[in-house]
Structure 1
Amino acid sequence: MIKKILIIGLFAGLINAASAQQKAMLRLDSIRRAMDKVVIWQIGEFAQGHVKSSEIGWENGALYTGIIALKKLNNVPAYDRFLYNIGEKHNWDTGPYRLFADDYCVAQMYTAMYLEHHQPKMIAKWTKLADTIVRRRFNDSLAISAEITHKEWAWCDALYMGPVGLALLTKATGNPQYLNKADSLWWKTSAYLYDKQEHLYYRDNRFFTQREKNGQKIFWSRGNGWVIAGLAHMLELMPRDFKNRKLYQQQFKEIAARIAALQQPDGSWHASLLDPVTFNEKETSGTAFYCYAFAWGINHGLLSKKQYLPLVNKAWAALITSVHPDGKLGYVQNVGSGPIAANYNSTNTYGVGAFLLAGTEVYQLYKK
């Protein structure tokens, strides 16, 4: 009997300790310190030349979206200077493939900086490219190929890379044609890649018939993270009376509900959403996007706080425990077009961008 009491007491103590630790992670000062720690480490990597890819490529374009979000919360001059210097270094231009969504992801940063600083050079080249996108008919098949990705949004990641920059340009210029084009292209891609039964996106058409080792369909965590984060951005930018707003809200809620049911006990999501055993480690880029989207959904009245807040708290804890003592974010799946195992030492800039998005939205959630 005494042994049983001691065991019960031990478990109760562990639960209380875990609860206290989670509460500490969710204090406003703790959230802000965590974001500063991670972004300072990442900016330091740029300063030392430890950049794995083009500074204006999609990986870093996604990072900049997170820093833009953080700047709205904590406008440290060094963060603004970092982004401004990137733009200046590259003459506020996008990547070499003009219709490739990955290559104009960086335009989100340019346009956000323009909205703050009002320097026409920041969006001059992007506006010319966007005008080309508006004029193009986009009537190709979305069957994946190297050629088609330079013409169409044929992979689900593109729904983060492409439409938000166009929607931001409508906000910056007042011209609705950019948002309207983003809207038409969004629903073309959705009609092709969105599984209406599973309420998840395939990464591209190659995955329609592929299966995981457990026989389940292959739905990539970060891929669906790109989409639900893109949905949140689009909803935030479009007018409240926008013609298809309710369709975006419906899809956001559908995906959120499906993703919520797939959260792992430690609060994370693994690289493959329906096979967390084969991919048995947490994965932080997808987890961060889901944490962000759920917190954003609560903050904007689209998701139930009672239902989703515990999921946000667990996801944020999974993210915080992935940060190295020096600020490096671990468990970020490497660049890929589908699920790949992650580990404590794997990192990349897009994961940091997603982490910053999550942190800024969790901060707003607890600031209220």
Structure 2
Amino acid sequence: MLTAILGLTTVSMTACQPSQDTPNTPSETIASDIFAKDNIITVTNGVADWQLAHIDNFEDYVPSFQDRSREKRGWIQGTFLKGLADWGVRTDNDAYLAYLKNFAEEQGYRLEDRIYHADDHVVGQYYFILHDRYKDPAMIKPTQDVFDQILANPSDVSLDFGPDGTEEGYYKECLKRWCWADALFMGPPVWTKLTKITGDDKYLEFSDKEFWITTDYLFDEDAGLFLRDSRFFERREETGEKIYWSRGNGWVLSGLTDVIDDLPMDHPSRDRYIELYKTMSAKLIEVQAENGYWPVSLEAGHLYPVPESSGTAFFIAGLGWGVANGTLDADTYMPAIRKGWAALNDSVMDTGMMGWVQQVGYAPDKVSANETQFYGAGAFLLAGESMLDLHAAGHLK
């Protein structure tokens, strides 16, 4: 078993195993011990260990996109590896970091093969975290080489999601730029971090420009939320609401925190990023369900009472980051964070598997208690990191 190889300790999970019934965790029933530091570490390590033990054996829990899920440099596993890297650094877990280093070395620290596609860039995030730890230039060079190619010949395709792609790997032409909300998690943090590492402003300049082009295109200022892509400009739920996909907005919020962390304090766009983050955060606490989860369709929760854990985990990660560092008001946001963390604990089975994860998609869809995905576990690790930061800041006692 992989946990034994890594020398990790398998722990008994305190979270309950989800059933097919919708869980109900109203705020007055939340057990205080889930907020204890040791229990945050225990449940989050358990999610990490289960996913590591199923890195190559997940078919029973992932009913679709199994071939894509096996890609070692793809976005699905890449999101988990990024979460594991952040969690490993936050808890100073040498076993996790050694695993990641070996995993990355096997891939030669390469990105996936599509030069322009943001999904193929996300693994750069954990490579760069490893670089911060080990200071090996080989950990950043392949990513830097690809980004230099992009800068030498930047794509200028439209962000319209309609036109079919003309090259293999881009089923829509616009995928050569950040034309879908998820891309704002996959790409910009890598570009921003590369400037921080190298001191070369050109990577951040490119990312900043493209980020705001995408945001101006997809962000609905009236709602305070992102549409997933241009197909959703006109699409509506059956009762007339605009469709704001939970995980799509989760990708954006979580990615924003990494971009802001790595921006120079005097960067001219810094206040704009923070204002976007605050606007989204204020909206999100309005649309959280009473059971602590966020619905898969943020403005139409009445149509989707089923829990969904991956979007919820990204939101807890993002909101916790802001309260812990003082960007958000604790009195306003901690009730939502506590309810959300309780819901996430409820989504974790006794084995450590995170359930209620919507499968690969681009819009609200069905969710099952017994289905998971790598990116769900990755988001949970990011949420666990934020909970430890809240603990350190004195917001969890």
TM range (shorter): over 0.9
Superposed counterparts of 1:279-318, under 5 Å: 279-318=304-343
Partner amino acid for 2:29?
A: A
Q: How do 1:130-279 and structure 2 match up within 5 A?
A: 130-144=147-161, 145=164, 146-279=171-304
| Alpha-carbon distance, 1:292 to partner | 0.9
Moved more, 180-189 or 51-60: 51-60
Q: How far apart are the structure 1 equivalents of 2:28 and 2:192?
A: 45
Q: 2:104 aligns with which of 83, 87, 107?
A: 87
Question: Alpha-carbon deviation of 1:80?
Answer: 1.1
Are 1:112 and 1:168, in contact at CA under 8 Å, matched by a contact in 2? no
Deviation at 1:78, TM superposition (A): 2.1
**1:83-136 per-position Cα deviation (integer Å, ceiling 9, x unaligned):** 112212211111111110001111111111112111121111111111122333
Rate the CA distance shift 1:320–1:16 in 2: closer, same or farther, 3 A.
closer
Distance 1:250 1:37, change over 3 A: same
Deviates more, 1:75-84 or 1:295-304: 75-84
For structure 1, which runs of at least 5 residues remain unmatched after alignment?
1-13
1:85/1:196 CA distance change after superposition, 3 Å: same
Q: Check conservation: 2:287, 2:298, Cα contact below 8 A.
A: yes
2: distance between equivalents of 1:137 and 1:55? 26
TM-score of the aligned structures, taking structure 1 as reference length: 0.92
Name the SS of the counterpart of 1:269 in structure 2.
coil
Correspondence 1:350 to 2:375: yes
**Match for residue 141 of structure 2?**
124
SS at match of 2:301: coil
Asked if residue 319 in structure 1 is aligned to residue 347 in structure 2, the reply is no
**What corresponds to 2:79 in structure 1?**
62
Deviation (angstroms), 1:278? 2.4
Task: Find the aligned partners of 1:180 and 1:35 in 2 and give their Cα distance.
Answer: 36
Q: Do residues 111 (structure 1) and 128 (structure 2) align?
A: yes
**Pairwise CA distance, 1:246:** 0.7
Contiguous gaps of at least 5 residues in structure 2:
1-24, 60-65, 165-170
Larger radius of gyration: 1
Letter of the aligned partner of 1:313 in structure 2?
A: R
Distance 2:28 2:184 in 1: 41
2:29 aligned to 3, 18, 21, which one?
18
More moved, 194-203 vs 75-84: 75-84
How many Å separate the matches in 2 of 1:48 and 1:335? 17
What letter is aligned with 1:324?
M
Task: Check whether the contact 2:115–2:150 (CA below 8 A) recurs between aligned residues.
Answer: no
2:47 aligned residue (16, 38, 41): 38
TM-score after normalising by structure 2: 0.86
Amino acid at match of 1:116: R
* Contact preservation (8 Å) 1:66, 1:356: yes
Post-superposition CA distance 1:218-263 (Å, at most 9, x none): 0100000001111111111101111100110111011111111000
Contact 1:100 1:149 in 2 (8 A): no
* Rounded Cα–Cα distance in structure 1 between residues aligned with 2:27 and 2:330: 23
Query: Which whole-Å CA distance do the structure 1 matches of 2:342 and 2:26 have between them?
Result: 14
CA distance in 2, matches of 1:68, 1:356: 9
Change (3 A) 1:49 1:290: closer
Larger relative contact order (CA 8 Å, sep ≥ 6) = 2
CA deviations on 1:249-302 (whole Å, 9 max, x unpaired) are 111011111111000001110111112232221111110111111111111221
In the TM superposition, what whole-angstrom CA distance separates every residue of 1:305-363 from its partner, at most 9, and x where no partner exists? 00001110000000000000000000111000111121211110101111111111111
Name the amino acid aligned to 1:103. Answer: D
Offset of residue 137 of structure 1: 3.8
Counterpart of 1:328 in structure 2 is 353
Structure 2 CA distance for partners of 1:240 and 1:17, relative to 1, 3 Å: closer
2:110 alignment partner, SS class: coil
Displacement after TM superposition at 1:47 (Å): 5.5
> Does the aligned pair in 1 maintain the 2:26–2:292 contact within 8 Å?
no
